[in-house]
Amino acid sequence: MTEHTLTVAGVAVDTRHWIGGERVASAETFTDVSPIDGSVLGEISRGTAAEADLAVAAAKAAFPAWATTSRAERARILHAVADGVEKRIEDLAIVETTDNGALLRSHRRGVMPRVAHNFRFFADRLLNLDHEDFETRGHTNHVSWDPAGPSVLITPWNAPLMLSTWKVAPALAAGNTVVLKPAEWTPLTASLLADIAAEAGLPAGVLNIVQGYGSEIGDALTSHPDVRRISFTGSVPTAQRITQSAAANLTPLSLELGGKSPLLVFADADLDLAAGLAVEQYDNAGQVCLAATRILVEETVAEEFTRRFVEKAAAIVQGDPRDEATDIGPNIHERQLEKIDGFVRRAVEAGARAVIGGHRGEGRYYAPTLLTDVAQDSEIVQEEVFGPVLTLQTFTTEDEAVQLANDTRFGLAATLATGDRDRAARVTQRLVAGTVWVNCFFVRDLQAPFGGSRHSGVGREGGTWSFDFYCDLKNTVTAPKGWNNHG
């Protein structure tokens, strides 16, 4: 091991940036800590504007060759990256669990296989990316997707590698070069991705990874005049800063932001199913942007629903995420834990009642919490907590349910439990959300558009929508006459 390498459960991870196909160290570092037990994992290179400039320059230099690489060759390399991910699923899983506290079993069985699938899906979609030519007064229109240029991708800590590759894969498939900045609380699997990509034959400079704080390196990336696309997943305040930073260069943005999503439970629903869906919202210790944290239940079944919910929630096992029996691990950081606890304490002081939970556990664990007696205009109902905290309110009519569901500044997702197909059709049409689940939760397909409305985001990614964002769409109109040759 070298001074720039740390070891996590026997897995070596380089702590330096990855720029232009080489490891680059910074003069300063920041400390990476595991949320499981507070142990120090290591010191990570702390990038500044200097590293941002280096990374963008490397991406710019690599862009012409990568943009003109054939679709087939780009797809082949992305499949090779997926192969590399699959060979290292165990390494990636244990490193990410240690770094962000999410369940090891989920990383092994779902998250890391999804990382590989991200690359395979967009590689295959690239090969089938097409729009049928069409005629205008005898002239032929041909639509093409041209690579846009260097792209800055800024990703969060709650699903670090999966959400990074959800952006990296389509950007690379589109022919863009990339500068990825992972969240400073969870930088490790991004470093492993650099190794995997290099081994897969991705040319130097096509993928660059820089680590550090948003205030020190993020602004330099998002304001850089050579950046052609910015994709960000995270908080509304950070998105507002990025938008201002990008404005001078009119850099196109894709923003997937927070949520305060509702779960509507009607009296005609399967209440056991509905209660199970509600308990699912504690997944990843509530650190899921799509989580339906506002449970809205028809008044006539509220008591029975609550009974079933409490019964199911009692079976949740909270503990070490490396244990196969654990259902909920720790929250990511002491700062986040204090934020969660502050939300709950203020809600209780304002009159809310904790049906379950409402308090911290040992270390960085927060007890799964359900609060009732909350006002619609209260902080706990209107603001994103990003922890294992749900609220429960009741409604008496369908109109009231929809009104309550839409009455926040967010619009990322919504979940609906009902046994009436006609009601499902009526209500989903009226809900303000980028994704609506009916009698299910968290079923996601990469073919579908993904994003939010209102303060939950700008734009959509997924399927062809990703290529629409990462490319400059061109329409070429050709006249039927004027040719010297007739072949």
CA atoms of 305 and 309, how far apart (whole Å): 6
- Sheet with 139-147: strands ordered across: 134-136, 139-147, 471-478
Is position 199 annotated as part of the catalytic site? no
**CA neighbor of 33 nearest in space, from 401, 318, 364, 319:** 364
Round to whole Å and give the CA distance between 85 and 162.
Answer: 11
3-state secondary structure of 395: strand
**Considering 256, 298, 384, 461, which one is annotated as catalytic?**
256
Helix, strand, coil percent values for the chain (each to nearest 5): 40, 20, 40
Closest to 372 measured CA to CA, from 390, 344, 352, 388? 352
- Sign of torsion, CA 410 183 121 74? positive
For residue 403, the one-letter residue type is: Q
Whole-angstrom distance, CA of residue 53 vs CA of residue 50? 5
User: Using the 8-state DSSP alphabet, how is residue 360 labeled?
Assistant: B
3-state secondary structure of 167: helix
Which residues in 215-317 belong to E strands, given as ranges? 229-233, 253-256, 262-265, 294-298
| End-to-end CA separation in angstroms for the chain | 64
* 232 three-class SS: strand
β 178-181/207-209 pair status: parallel
CA dist., res. 390 & res. 265, Å (int): 14
Q: For residues 133 and 135, what is the distance between their CA atoms, to the nearest angstrom?
A: 7
Comparing C-alpha atoms, which of 183, 77, 155, 68 is closest to residue 122?
Answer: 77
**440 given a catalytic annotation:** no
Q: Do 204 and 35 meet the contact criterion of CB atoms below 8 Å apart?
A: no
Catalytic residue selected from 51, 96, 289, 471: 289
Q: Please give the positions annotated as active site.
A: 256, 289
